[in-house]
Structure 1
């Protein structure tokens, strides 16, 4: 019984590999304001490195407050990660935004900002079709693989049809619980064990 308890918070590596369109789910005790209980959507992953955006850390500002060109457009903005925090990034479901890159079926990254601005101001892009991020999460060549070996992350998925509408509250718990088994217990473990 004691060995089982000690083993409870060891990640049992599954066959899921990091891929574009999948999510990284932080282990329960990963520290730091960017990655503590975060869910990171992966938009790039190859031998040279990886890029993703934290889905569940909203900023207390809207697009209108942060970007002069988007004045009057009040969409939420999330902390995408610690890299280039003064830059705005976006993923979306719109195949009509020029120069955007399809990263998963029906999911696009970036695109012509001027065209997007015009579409947003004309009300042609809805809040449930796009997510904005200040900064991104980046890893150099083998850095993410090392973090996976250190049990910092689990690899999971989020259905693409709910990617833009899932609530921030409880997203980490939901993503962790969806892995099943011991991870359902992890999802309910308090952030501060002293409060248990």
Structure 2
């Protein structure tokens, strides 16, 4: 299977042998890819604190927050499926929106007008400088595929990496069973 080129909406699936502790066995959803750089969010690494522990405006809302990546870990971002209700978002892929009015999103959650199943919060993000991501792809650190709502909003964070590889089928599906360190086999 041929790798797809990175673009907004691409999933970066960590190669089973990628050792970088920030990205080992992760799936990153790219929100933007341009010549000057790229950024996205790790989908399958739960952060140690919930939204209400990080934001006073979300008091009483113990929603999960994911570790989006090692860059600007003092910022909160979100992906959602509610473009008609949360103004200011940007469509990254079909039915997947990045950002928008944070306070509106929190109020809609509080009022049960949107469900937590359709929104995902991240602390920090993953970023690549000019040419960095393309070099990592040449080094085969990442396997690429097209992002979709099912994986981006998957509740079981432990299933995302395996499911992303299963979706590719064939030889990729076999990677699920590879040990993290083949020398230990």
Fold match (TM-score > 0.5): yes
Secondary structure of the residue aligned to 2:49 is strand
1:114 corresponds to 2:100: no
Secondary structure of the residue aligned to 2:134 is helix
User: How has the CA–CA distance of structure 1 residues 171 and 117 changed in structure 2, closer, same or farther, with 3 Å as cutoff?
Assistant: closer
- Greater relative contact order structure (CA < 8 Å, 6+ sep): 2
What CA distance in whole angstroms lies between the structure 1 residues aligned with 2:122 and 2:179? 27
Q: Post-superposition, which runs of at least 4 consecutive aligned residues in structure 1 deviate over 6 A?
A: none
Q: Please give the per-residue CA displacement for 1:90-125, whole angstroms capped at 9, x wherever unaligned.
A: 000011211111111221111112222222222222
Secondary structure of the residue aligned to 2:39 is strand
Partner residue, 2:131:
142
What CA distance in whole angstroms lies between the structure 1 residues aligned with 2:96 and 2:148? 11
Note the C-alpha offset of 1:43. 0.6
What CA distance in whole angstroms lies between the structure 2 residues aligned with 1:33 and 1:124? 37
CA RMSD of superposed structures (Å): 1.7
Note the C-alpha offset of 1:32. 2.6
Q: Please give the per-residue CA displacement for 1:145-181, whole angstroms capped at 9, x wherever unaligned.
A: 0111111111013432453134211321221232233
Aligned length: 184
Partner residue, 1:170:
159
Partner residue, 1:185:
174
Structure 2 unaligned blocks of 5 or more: none
Task: Specify which of 65, 68, 71 is matched with residue 80 of structure 1.
Answer: 68
What CA distance in whole angstroms lies between the structure 1 residues aligned with 2:90 and 2:29? 15
Q: Please give the per-residue CA displacement for 1:6-44, whole angstroms capped at 9, x wherever unaligned.
A: xxxxxxx71411121120001111123320011001111
